């Protein structure tokens, strides 16, 4: 039984507390990768903001065109009504 107890103590993992150049290089790599990802996302976000602003401006122009088209349509309808009234007055006056 003491053999199995000794085997258990020997198989226990040990933590090596030394710091090597590999550890430092890994830590620096994580910091550089995180910084690069942050600035990359920031640049992409600015690009998306610019595209959204352009789309909003285009939508505003389209809305203006739709309003102008609706106004012209109303004017045409009014002209058609007047012409119709004139035609009715002209036909009623003819004997």
Instruction: Give the per-residue pLDDT at 88.
Output: 86
pTM for the structure as a whole: 0.55
Distance CA 59, CA 9 (A): 73
pLDDT tens, position by position, for the chain (95 residues)?
A: 455 555 556 677 788 888 899 999 999 999 999 999 999 999 999 999 999 999 999 999 999 999 999 999 999 999 999 999 988 887 776 65
For 32, 44, 65, the CA distances from 54, given in Å and listed in that order, are: 33, 15, 17
Residues comprising the chain, all counted: 95
Instruction: Give the per-residue pLDDT at 3.
Output: 55
Distance CA 52, CA 67 (A): 22
Distance CA 68, CA 12 (A): 81
Instruction: Give the per-residue pLDDT at 42.
Output: 96
């Amino acid at each position: 039984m003491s053999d199995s107890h000794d085997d258990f103590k020997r198989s226990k993992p040990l933590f090596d507390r030394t710091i090597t150049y590999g550890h430092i290089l890994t830590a620096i790599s994580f910091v550089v990768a995180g910084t690069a990802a942050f600035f990359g996302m920031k640049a992409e976000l600015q690009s998306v903001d610019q595209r959204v602003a352009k789309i909003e401006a285009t939508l505003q122009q389209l809305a203006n065109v739709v309003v102008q088209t609706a106004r012209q349509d109303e004017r045409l309808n009014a002209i058609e009504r007047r012409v119709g009234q004139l035609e009715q007055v002209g036909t009623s006056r003819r004997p």
